[in-house]
Amino acid sequence: MPLTEHEKDGLIYYTSPLLDGCPGVAHGFSTRTGGVSRPPCDTLNLAPSRGGDRPAVEENYRRFCAAIGTNWKRPVLAEQVHETTVRPVTEEDAGKGLWKPKDYTADALVTDLPDTPLTVFSADCGVILLHDPQARCVGAVHAGWRGCAAGIVEKTVHELERLYGARADRIVAAVGPCIGQCCFETDGDVPQAMTDALGADAQPYLERRGAKWHVDLAGLNRQWLLRAGVRPEQIDVSGLCTFCRPDLFWSYRRVGGQRGAQAAMIALR
């Protein structure tokens, strides 16, 4: 199912209809619209390392967290390095990356703490939010093509099971905006990595167009969810391409490093 668009005081964000149906969780996928950052990070930049205007980023967090209904003083930010480290978030981690220094690298965060927003970033890469309503735990995953090929999504599902007693067949998942197959044009290394990891299951998401391949990153991340045991009816996929919509999203492939970053956030209420 596609995501639902919301607007609050000029701030545009998206939510998953499936996660909206879970009263114990707050979540959202931000856009670039509705904040106070200056160009080239205009306006809702949520990456503290970008733009050099810390007060603006703090105000952006206040606005975004207020919109989705969670605590802007306690977000935990991923330190993304395109690997497969899944970090269990504890009380000591609350605020790390925004109010306190990060002392870790991790492309996925998991927790059973309430009121502690897990935050991952994207400017074309895949972002996935996870929730088991019965086990009361959540996860947030950054899965660009390297993380996707390495199976970080499946690993995160298994960590929710191992650490908090989640079950894959109960997990509700939302795959957020990322670069679409329409625009994710690559050489053969990316399709080869996906095929090595997923075998024939990767083929529906890889299309040869002339000398180049076009890759469906959202579809591949969804395939990892299915492989981990998440039920297909429990997965929302946004269908939004970050490259196609510069009015809504920053895209690394479109503008390079001179940009802000949107975020995906989830927290237990």
User: Residue 79 belongs to a domain with what CATH number?
Assistant: 3.60.140.10
As a whole number of angstroms, the distance between CA 44 and CA 37 comes to: 6
Give pLDDT tens digits for 209-255: 999 999 999 999 999 999 999 999 999 999 999 999 999 999 999 98
Give pLDDT tens digits for 163-184: 999 999 999 999 999 999 999 9
Cβ(19)–Cβ(174) under 8 Å?
A: yes
Q: Rounded to an integer, what is the distance from CA 220 to the centroid of its chain? A: 14
pLDDT over threshold 90, residue 190: yes
Q: How many domains does the chain have?
A: 1
pLDDT over threshold 90, residue 50: no
pLDDT of residue 51: 74
3-state helix vs strand vs coil in the chain, percent to 5: 30, 30, 40
pLDDT over threshold 80, residue 52: no
pLDDT over threshold 80, residue 106: yes
Range of the domain at 159: 4-268
Tokens (6 digits) for 251? 């895209």
pLDDT of residue 252: 95
Q: Which pTM value belongs to this model?
A: 0.97
Mean pLDDT estimate for the chain? 97
pLDDT over threshold 90, residue 8: yes
